[in-house]
Amino acid sequence: MKARQPIQKTSLVQVLVLVVSIALMAAAAGTLTKTLSVQPHPLFGAELKP
């Protein structure tokens, strides 16, 4: 296995950004699940049914 050059190495900052991004997405999914699962309704009055 070849040694990696400095430009190829993954820094601690990159790992932290990845972990924080995943945590934020999980938190957003957890908090918005109830909000986004509400049944749709008409915005402007009742629907016209034929």
pLDDT for position 47: 63
Question: Two tokens at 14?
Answer: 């990159």
pLDDT for position 20: 98
Q: What is the pLDDT of residues 1-50, one digit of tens each?
A: 778 777 778 899 999 999 999 999 999 999 999 888 988 888 887 766 65
DSSP 8-state secondary structure symbol assigned to residue 37: T
Q: Rounded to an integer, what distance in angstroms lies between the CA atom of residue 16 and that of residue 33?
A: 26
pLDDT for position 12: 92
pLDDT for position 5: 79
pLDDT for position 17: 97
Q: Rounded to an integer, what distance in angstroms lies between the CA atom of residue 10 and that of residue 6?
A: 9
Q: Rounded to an integer, what distance in angstroms lies between the CA atom of residue 19 and that of residue 13?
A: 10
pLDDT for position 49: 60
- Give how far the C-alpha of residue 9 lies from the chain's centroid of Cα atoms, to the nearest Å: 26
